[in-house]
Amino acid sequence: MIKQINHVAILVENLDQSLTFWRDALGLPVGKTENNPGENVNIAFLPVGDSEIELLEPISTDSALGKFLAKRGQGMHHICVEVDDIEATMQQMVAHDIQMINDTPKAREDGTRYAFVHPKSTSGVLVELYELPNDA
């Protein structure tokens, strides 16, 4: 079951430069920042109500996000929906002939599990499924 939109991710060339709009001009607070070496990305999370805007800055031009940025430029990267049970949601997607990018969920250090739905199945939008750990 879909619980809520967890975040909208925006791919940027330069995180500090992008924050001049999102943080300084628009006035959104930076909730936290992190470096995710597994995905080769620096991230800034900006809370907006119960959701967040996630700014993604690739730290390598040969990473998946670096290649995406080189090919498509800056802008919206994906929308993330929070789910109760990621395996059940993925099974439901496959049962409806929805193409998944990930066959099994990946896990972040904090226990969050995630998987991506291919844009070919979603009218061109990359969708991330997100299952938060029970203590979150």
136 occurs within a structural domain: no
Q: The CATH number of the domain where 32 resides is what? A: 3.10.180.10
Are 33 and 18 spatial neighbours (Cβ–Cβ below 8 Å)?
Answer: no
* 116 contact partners, CB below 8 Å, separation of at least 6: 78, 100, 101, 102, 126, 127, 128, 129
Closest CA to 9 of 33, 45, 37: 45
Amino acid identity, residue 84?
D
In this prediction, residue 1 has a pLDDT band, given cuts at 50, 70 and 90, of: confident
Report how many domains make up the chain. Answer: 1
Where residue 124 falls (left for φ over 0; alpha for ψ -120 to 50; beta otherwise) is left
List pLDDT tens digits, range 13-63.
999 999 999 999 999 999 999 998 888 999 999 999 999 999 999 999 999
List pLDDT tens digits, range 100-127.
999 999 998 889 999 999 999 999 999 9
More confident residue, 136 or 54: 54
List pLDDT tens digits, range 66-99.
999 999 999 999 999 999 999 999 999 999 999 9
Task: Provide the residue range defining the domain that includes 14.
Answer: 2-131
pTM, to two decimals: 0.89
50 occurs within a structural domain: yes
Query: Three-class SS of residue 127?
Result: strand
- pLDDT at position 77, please? 96
71 occurs within a structural domain: yes
> Would you say residue 136 has pLDDT above 90?
no
* Burial degree of 101 (CB within 10 A; 0-12, 13-18, 19+): middle
| Residue found by looking up tokens 């990359």 in the block | 126
Phi and psi for 119 in degrees, rounded to 5? -60, -20
